[in-house]
Amino acid sequence: MSDLEKEINRRRTFAIISHPDAGKTTLTEKFLLYGGAINLAGSVKGKATARHAVSDWMEIEKERGISVTSSVLQFEYDGYCINILDTPGHQDFSEDTYRTLMAADSAVMVIDGSKGVEAQTRKLFKVCVMRKIPIFTFINKLDRDAMDTFDLLDDIEKELGIATCPINWPIGSGKEFKGVYDRDSRSVICYSDTEKGTKEGIATVIPVSDDKLLRDTIGDAAADKLFEEIELLDGAGAEFDLDVVRAGELTPVCFGSALTNFGVEIFLRHFLNMATTPLPRMADCGLIDPVKEDFSAFVFKIQANMNKAHRDRVAFMRICSGKYDANEEVRHVQGGKVMRLSQPQQIMADERKILSEAYAGDIIGVFDPGIFSIGDTLCAPKSNFRYEGIPTFAPEHFARVRQMDTMKRKQFVKGVQQIAQEGAIQIFQELHSGLEEIIVGVVGVLQFDVLKYRLENEYNVEIKLENLPYEHIRWVENKDEVDMEKLTGTSDMKKVVDMKGNPLLLFVNPWSVGMTQDRNPGLKLSEFSRN
């Protein structure tokens, strides 16, 4: 095996998904703790003086205690090089999560043991299924009262339509939480409430064959219930099959408490053994093999103003094949240029480390002078292919944006355009109106708050938002065959163009979409754009 192959095969790149408050960011912090990337885990919630989670770096995230952008974190653990993509849990930022899942090879799904599958988990899970990526489940918060374990598994199977295979099994929950039963070694790992920010305490492992020691440790009632559940589990549970897991049809399930660190390292070890090495990706010339091909990557995220001192923009790229060498030139396919990437860096939330090399599976950030767009392909100078585009999802809320101070027109336009290029918002103009009238579309209303906050804090521009009644948006697929001026629509329709000049139609009522198509034979409308 070549050195290149060894480096690529030791990489694991995954996204962490969950409903808000299921403990995803806390779990991410604990992974970093075990990898030695941080010495003390921060808590997401807390007073102004408390440490904040490493992955929540934006000011608004620290103020509100929620993640609004995806963070990229890399660390080493047990010979593996791990790239974690921590995604926003809040549904108003789900589009950022969709794009992030395009850069991951597998997903870790965090579920609150007291609530089971929640709305946002369902939505994100569908994206994983669409991409057929393996899903690993961590049922969290066992230090609090949880649902019946069989009900939790049943909930996952019914709600998400995926079979479950418990790797371990909880013994009680809340005050009665005694630990977990490891099915593979047929032993019980006892729960110890450790200091919250430090590594796990010394685990007491008791084989279930040692009946006396087990009963002395967890009590007769808990032992009797455990033996009963093991029998049920061994008789009725789905058989573990790694191929079925990797096909995204079976999810291995582990239990624990991210807050107290119990079960986190157990889960991490199981996950690393089961997760895949970097996977091949589809391009317009066929599948690209991570190990056999030269360097290639695609841009899945753009973030402006990560460093307040420099007011810069960073383009995040997922390396899909080969090795990246900072001294070598690459081809930016969409831009039609061969260039050297500026300031290639490994990102740890808002901390950066300039790097000279990276491999397939790694996520790198590069300085973007405004030339990259989400979905762009980069490859070796002698290659010329494009990876499949990342879909732009239809916004569900619209508002007209007006600046309060007309003297700050330049900053306003720059700010709105930069935030739109990150994919957090979509901006539209009325046909022929220029940038005087800007309409902003977002997937969730909380994004309006983020837009207002960032324009004020990063660009020193105050804005006023006027909500618009439109709820349905359609891109004109066959724009070259349609005369937008002569298009006959309904009274609740507005004609607009996006940042790339693509024509779109906004509607208040859902039935207006079909009516407009009936009135304009040959008109093709789409719910998302792949441009």
The dihedral over CA atoms of 319, 322, 324, 325, expressed in degrees to the nearest 10, equals: 180
Q: Is the pLDDT of residue 87 over 60?
A: yes
Please state which of the ranges 213-217, 323-327, 454-458 shows the lowest mean pLDDT. 454-458
End-to-end CA distance of the chain: 39
Q: Is 468:398 a contact under the CB 8 Å cutoff? A: yes
pLDDT value, residue 99: 77
**Does residue 198 have a pLDDT over 60?**
no
Rounded-to-integer distance, Cα 325 and Cα 341, Å: 10
Long-range contacts at 59-64 (CB < 8 A, ≥ 24 apart): 59/453, 59/457, 60/449, 60/450, 60/453, 60/454
Give the integer Cα–Cα distance in Å for 376 and 389.
8
pLDDT of 349 > 50? The answer is no
Q: Which helix (H) or strand (E) holds 159?
A: helix 149-160
Q: Going along 238-344, which residue ranges are E strands?
A: 250-255, 281-283, 286-288, 296-304, 313-321, 323-325, 330-332, 337-339
Q: Which residue, among 459, 474, 467, has the nearest Cα to 510 in the 3D structure?
A: 474
Which tokens belong to 64?
């509100």
Kindly indicate the confidence band of residue 30, based on its pLDDT and cuts at 50, 70 and 90. Answer: confident
Q: Which CATH number fits domain 281-379: 2.40.30.10, 3.40.50.620, 3.20.20.70, 3.40.50.720?
A: 2.40.30.10
Q: How confident is the model at residue 355 (pLDDT cuts 50, 70, 90)?
A: confident
Tokens of 417: 């355009």
Residue scoring higher pLDDT (473 or 418)? 473
If you ran DSSP here, which 8-state letter would residue 350 be given?
A: T
Predicted confidence at residue 128, as pLDDT, reads: 79
Query: Tell me, what's the pLDDT at 199?
Result: 57
Per-residue pLDDT, 514: 92
- Is the Cα dihedral 408, 414, 417, 418 positive or negative? negative
Question: Residue ranges per domain, the chain?
Answer: 10-71+87-94+105-274, 281-379, 397-526
Q: Rounded distance, CA 194 to CA 465, Å?
A: 48
140 vs 41 pLDDT, higher one: 140
At residue 377, what is the residue type? T
Predicted pLDDT of residue 207: 92
Question: In the prediction, which pLDDT does 45 show?
Answer: 36
Q: What is the mean pLDDT of residues 26-37?
A: 78
CATH fold match for the domains 10-71+87-94+105-274 and 281-379? no
DSSP 510: T
**How high is the pLDDT of residue 51?**
45
Among the listed residues 6, 7, 78, the one whose alpha carbon sits nearest the alpha carbon of residue 36: 78
Task: Over range 504-523, report the average pLDDT.
Answer: 92
Nearest to 411 by CA among 364, 375, 460: 460
To the nearest whole percent, how much of the chain has pLDDT over 90?
Answer: 44
Residues 6+ apart with CB under 8 A from 483: none
> In angstroms, rounded to a whole number, what is the distance separating the alpha carbons of residues 73 and 494?
42
Enter the CATH code of domain 397-526: 3.30.70.3280
Q: Which H helix or E strand runs over 33?
A: helix 24-34
pLDDT score of 53 = 52
Q: What average pLDDT does range 58-73 have in this prediction?
A: 52
Which of the pair, 63 or 375, is modelled with greater confidence?
375
At 386, the pLDDT band (50, 70, 90 cuts) reads very high
Please determine, for residue 111, whether its predicted confidence score (pLDDT) is greater than 90. Answer: yes
**Band of residue 213 on the pLDDT scale cut at 50, 70, 90:** very high
- Residue, of 424 and 396, whose pLDDT is higher: 396
Which residue would you say has higher pLDDT here, 361 or 21?
361
Cα gap 16→252, rounded to integer Å: 15
Distance CA 375, CA 301 (A): 8
For 287-305, the pLDDT digits (tens) are 999 998 899 999 988 876 6
pLDDT higher than 90, residue 72: no
Secondary structure of 332-378 in the HEC alphabet? ECCCCEEECCCCCEEEECCEEEECCEEECCCEEEEECCCCCCCCCEE
pLDDT mean over 329-348: 88
- CA separation for the pair 474, 441 (Å, rounded): 12
Q: What is the mean pLDDT of residues 257-263?
A: 88
- Flag whether pLDDT at 248 surpasses 80: yes
Structural tokens at position 14: 């995954």
pLDDT for position 34 = 79
The pLDDT-based confidence of 65 (bands split at 50, 70, 90) is: very low
Highest mean pLDDT among 60-74, 474-488, 507-521: 507-521
Which phi and psi angles does 4 have, rounded to 5°? -60, -45
Which range among 159-163, 212-216, 525-529 has the greatest average pLDDT?
Answer: 212-216
Q: Does the structure show a pLDDT above 90 at 229?
A: yes
pLDDT of residue 233: 87
- pLDDT at 171 > cutoff 70: yes
How many CB atoms sit inside 10 A of residue 107's CB?
27
How far is Cα 102 from Cα 377, in angstroms, rounded to an integer? 13
Q: What is the mean pLDDT of the chain?
A: 83
The class (CATH top level) of 10-71+87-94+105-274 is: alpha beta
**pLDDT tens, position by position, 411-430:** 888 888 887 877 778 889 88
For residue 203, the Cα-to-chain-centroid distance in whole angstroms is 32
Judge whether residue 43 has pLDDT over 70.
no
Mean pLDDT, rounded, for 92-98: 60
